[in-house]
Structure 1
């Protein structure tokens, strides 16, 4: 890892923080943040398996902590996920910007239609789809709901930039479409530092 690349990543993170701190977390400011994270994802040679190995045999995902503020805000991860990995509909309870280094992540976006916000009976309506791939990311607000499916034949590498570290988010919900229920989301993958 070169110090020039590290300096560039830190500069992009500082610029992203400035956008959110100045304008708040809204669709406009997160679009600007996403552009910065897409630039970080495009840094050549920075995110490869020599530094961030594919998931171990038998594992579907590896998540690497790249940077976080001392108060666990503004946290950048690299997710490496194998094909076939599926994450059911969920929210984040913080904003998120996701940019592809390589590979595609199929996202289905949902709206909660039952009028509730917490765990318990829940109904969702699909509102759209986004394939996150190099040059096309996604920005999500805290209450946005999406599911993820990794298609294709090779692992993907994507940067995920959050307003708060995933490890601190205790109110996240995962939605079971068949059961019509929302339940607390547990961390399924330990973050590697």
Structure 2
């Protein structure tokens, strides 16, 4: 059975062991071995949102609920991240800066579909975009190696993939139900 308080304490212990996200990944993999139990503890996703479970300068744990058919443009985190899906699906496209680096441009390199029970580890420099391809909400636990809301980060706008500073208020508004 998934216990949220125990999960948070296990993540904090894993971070104290070292700066790598591997130990946190193991904690999240254990939790996602039973996504139904995670759903029971957090509740079935019913409205979009970036819901903070725990936040400190070293660690942020979010219950991210993706609206149906939501698209989040490419962005970085400027810290490691571990993502586990407990309900629905999250399709990720991974990006890299173009070889010439002109104008902050990026190009897609690979894609990965995550379903309930799946976990992925993202490095500090990873750039990705996310799509919820379903007509229902998707629930995911996202764990970050720092303060998710205070970090200096980048995002790329849709049409020209132009680089700009990430705006946490713009992100919160995107997740909110309309």
* TM-score, normalised relative to structure 2: 0.80
Distance 1:37-1:126 versus aligned 2 partners, 3 A rule: farther
Post-superposition CA distance 1:126-185 (Å, at most 9, x none): 22111121121221122100000111111111111111232212x210123642521101
Distance 1:151 1:19, change over 3 A: same
- Which runs of structure 2 are paired with 1:1-193 in the superposition (5 Å)? 8-25=3-20, 28-29=22-23, 31-38=25-32, 41-44=35-38, 45-49=40-44, 54-55=46-47, 61-68=48-55, 71-114=56-99, 121-169=103-151, 171-176=152-157, 178-187=159-168, 188=170, 189=172
Q: In 2, distance between residues paired with 1:24 and 1:40? A: 27
Between the aligned partners of 2:107 and 2:31, the Cα distance in structure 1 is 29
- The structure that is helix-richer by fraction is 2
Counterpart Cα distance in 1 of 2:66 and 2:167: 18
| Cα separation, 2, equivalents of 1:156 and 1:166 | 20
Task: Give the gaps of 5 or more residues in structure 2.
Answer: none
Q: 1:106 to 1:182 in 2, by over 3 A?
A: same
Q: How many residue pairs were aligned?
A: 172
Which SS does the other structure have where 1:13 is aligned? helix
Aligned Cα root-mean-square deviation (Å): 2.8
The whole-number CA distance in structure 2 between the counterparts of 1:17 and 1:36 is: 15
Question: Contact 1:121–1:180 (CA<8 Å) still a contact in 2?
Answer: no
Structure 1, gaps ≥5 residues long: 56-60
The list of structure 1 runs, each at least 4 consecutive aligned residues, that deviate by more than 6 angstroms after superposition, is: none
